[in-house]
């Protein structure tokens, strides 16, 4: 089995779970934040929805200097826009992942800012750390935000307090 096939077994359910959480982001106050040092909920949700773009970049380029890249605006407009962005970015990322050979995933990739290296390693490692773990991290943050807003949470890796297991 190819490495990409194993990675796809995680990619698909993680994107589906992310979609379930993003679907719950309230449109009423996208600037709401649980703390003054926290990112507003709308911006965090947009960042989460656009993370698969980073996956595509990792899998299709040898490096990225963030000071030279134009990244998406993280302005939240609506839940529909949020889900559309996730759909677009995740479909593109999935295509890149499905097309990646084991050799491609072992190639080096570098993330830099103004020429200074921020992260460097195999595409496989940076796919996992810079994209997949990053996506899961921000999805979990959104779960905390939603809980504080008293919005019922879906089960992600099993039942939740709001979506119990029913045999």
pLDDT in tens, 81-123: 999 999 999 999 999 999 999 999 999 999 999 989 999 999 9
Q: Beta partners for 63?
A: 110
Tokens of 135: 């996506």
Q: What confidence score (pLDDT) does residue 165 get?
A: 78
CA distance 23 to 139: 12
Domain range annotation of the chain: 3-148
pLDDT at 70 over 90: no
First CA to last CA distance, the chain = 33
The architecture CATH gives domain 3-148: Up-down Bundle (1.20)
Mean pLDDT calculated for residue range 36-40:
96
Name the least confident of 70-84, 88-102, 140-154.
70-84
């Amino acid at each position: 089995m190819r490495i990409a096939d194993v990675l796809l077994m995680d990619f698909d359910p993680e994107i589906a779970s992310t979609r379930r959480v993003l679907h719950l982001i309230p449109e009423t106050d996208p600037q709401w934040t649980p703390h003054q040092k926290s990112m507003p909920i709308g911006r965090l949700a947009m960042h989460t929805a656009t993370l698969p773009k980073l996956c595509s970049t990792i899998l299709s380029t040898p490096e990225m200097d963030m000071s030279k890249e134009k990244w998406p605006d993280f302005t939240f407009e609506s839940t529909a826009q949020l889900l559309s962005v996730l759909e677009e970015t995740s479909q593109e990322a999935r295509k890149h992942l499905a097309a990646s050979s084991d050799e491609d995933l072992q190639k080096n990739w570098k993330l830099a800012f103004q020429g200074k290296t921020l992260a460097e390693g195999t595409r496989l490692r940076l796919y996992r750390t810079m994209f997949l773990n990053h996506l899961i991290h921000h999805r979990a943050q959104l779960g905390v935000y939603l809980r504080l807003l008293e919005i019922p949470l879906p089960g992600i890796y099993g039942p939740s307090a709001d979506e119990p297991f029913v045999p």
